[in-house]
Every structure is written in C-alpha cells, then in structure tokens.
Copies of this chain bind each other. A is one copy, B any other.
Amino acid sequence: MPPAGRRPGPSRTREAVLDAARAEFAARGYDAVTLRRVAARAGVDPAMVTHHFGSKSGLFRAVLDVRLDPAAELAAVLTGPLDTVAERLLTRLLVLWDSPAGAATIAAVRTALQDEDGTALLRDLALSQVLRPLAAALTGPEEERRWRVDLVASQVVGLLMTRYVLGLEPLASARHPALVGALGPTLQRYLTGPLPAASVEP
C-alpha cells in the first residue's frame, strides 16, 4: 500500500487528466472546455495539464489517441497558392495516412465512431483543427466557405473509409499520384470552383 497522503505518480496523473478531459469534452464540446476545469475535475494543478499535454488541442488529440497534429499539417499545406491547394492537401494526407502514426490515427477514428460521445468528439476535432481553419483560408461569404469545406470533408472521409477501413481494390493499393490525379480536381472544385449554394432545410 502506498503511504497515506502521497501524491499520485506521473502516469496516474496523466490517466486522471485524460479521464477528466474525456468527460469534459463529451459533456461540453471542444470550444467550451478549459484546461482549468479539466484540472479541477482531475484534482490536479492546471500546470500539470499543460506539462503533460501542452495545450487544449494537444489534450484533445491525446483523448482521441490521434498521433498527428492536423492543425499544424493544415497550416503547412495552406502556405501556397489557393488554386493548387487541393493537390498539396491530398498529397500530404496520403503521406500521413500511409505512415505508422497515420495507421494509429485511423484506428483511433474507427474506435471513436463506435459511440455517440466518440463521434461528437471526432466532429469537434474535425471542426476545430481542420475545417474551420481551412474555411478561414477561403474567400467568399462564411456560409459558402462552410459548405465548401464540408464537401471536401465528404470526399476526404470517404477516401479514408474506402482505402483504409473497407480496403476496396484497386483504390486501397493505388499509388499517390493516381489518387491525387483522380481526387485532386474534385477537392479543388469544392474549395474554389463554381458550386450551387447549400440551400439548407429550414
């Protein structure tokens, strides 16, 4: 038995913070969560949260076991002309997904999809780390930019599911240039081409 009153060790602290963060993100959504609340819920000092996870987005990715930093990757892709961004985005995505960290991330996505809480966290992750920053880099009214990035998501998520989860052939074994040549024009049109308005249900 450990001595009474002893503080939890680093790995128990890390687990307690992850448990508290999972509950907070699920209950409140990404935007409303603060590191201070997570720390209070875990019964640790807020500095410990920063020490272990760096930032709210780092904590969030740790909760989902996402071993890539989508926001940083996207920022790198966006440094270049917008009229060729689809090709850079797709090339980068394929390199990441085909790496060991990508395989772990895809496994984490699949696990998260198994229940409503995990799915909501995944939606929050996509919105906060990828879709909103991507929308901010586009031109046009905000509603139109949100519609454009949702369309991009519909093709990118489908590529992930068919290539890595369902393993449909020949798509699962297709080389990157073939995928970029086939899907790149789709993404570029969704981002910057002419499109009908979303015309949402009232």
Q: Are B143 and A170 in contact, CB atoms less than 8 angstroms apart? A: yes
Task: Name, among A160, A166, A169, A190, the residue most crowded by chain B CB atoms within 10 Å (CB to CB).
Answer: A166
Q: Are A174 and B155 in contact, CB atoms less than 8 angstroms apart? A: no
Q: Which of A109-162 contact B (CB under 8 A)?
A: 110, 113-114, 119, 122-123, 126-127, 131, 143, 146-147, 150-151, 153-162
Q: Are A196 and B182 in contact, CB atoms less than 8 angstroms apart? A: yes
Q: Are B171 and A153 in contact, CB atoms less than 8 angstroms apart? A: yes
Mostly, the A contact residues are helix
Q: Mark A160-182, 1 if CB is under 8 A from B, else 0.
A: 11110111111101110110011
A4 close to chain B: CB less than 8 A: no
A166 to B153, CA, bound (A): 10
A183 close to chain B: CB less than 8 A: yes
A-B contact pairs, 23 of them (CB 8 A): A114-B114, A119-B166, A126-B168, A147-B182, A150-B162, A150-B170, A150-B171, A151-B182, A151-B183, A153-B166, A154-B162, A154-B171, A157-B157, A157-B161, A158-B161, A170-B198, A173-B201, A174-B201, A175-B198, A178-B196, A178-B197, A182-B196, A185-B189
